[in-house]
Amino acid sequence: MYDSAVVGSGVGLMVAVPLVTLLVFFVFRGFWTWYWKQSQQLAVLKEIRDSLRALEARPGALGLATPAVRTPLPASPPRPKKSWQDALLDRLAGVP
């Protein structure tokens, strides 16, 4: 009644079209979610930049002393030089 070649190609088409559609959907979804995330990050960074500029415009707003009131920091004593073996052991132990 039906030719097997026609039925076989119809079944393959019924499988291929949804698979290609899903593939295209996931590719576009990935791109748009990435683009949306980048846009949101850019908006937040611009908001932070604008807030910091507004704070910089007010003297003393960031908790920093004005240039006329600044005092020099005391000099810290020199650190003793570690041997390379001690420095290696500290690095392996996670000591800064």
DSSP string, 39-67: HHHHHHHHHHHHHHHHHHHSTTTTSPPPT
Output the tens digit of pLDDT for each of the chain's 96 residues.
Answer: 555 555 556 777 888 888 999 999 999 999 889 888 999 999 999 999 999 888 887 766 666 555 555 677 777 777 778 788 888 888 888 765
Provide the CA 13 distance to its chain's centre, in angstroms: 41
> Domain ranges in the chain?
29-61
pLDDT of residue 64: 59
* Amino acid at the residue 73: L
Using only C-alpha atoms, what is the Rg of the chain?
32
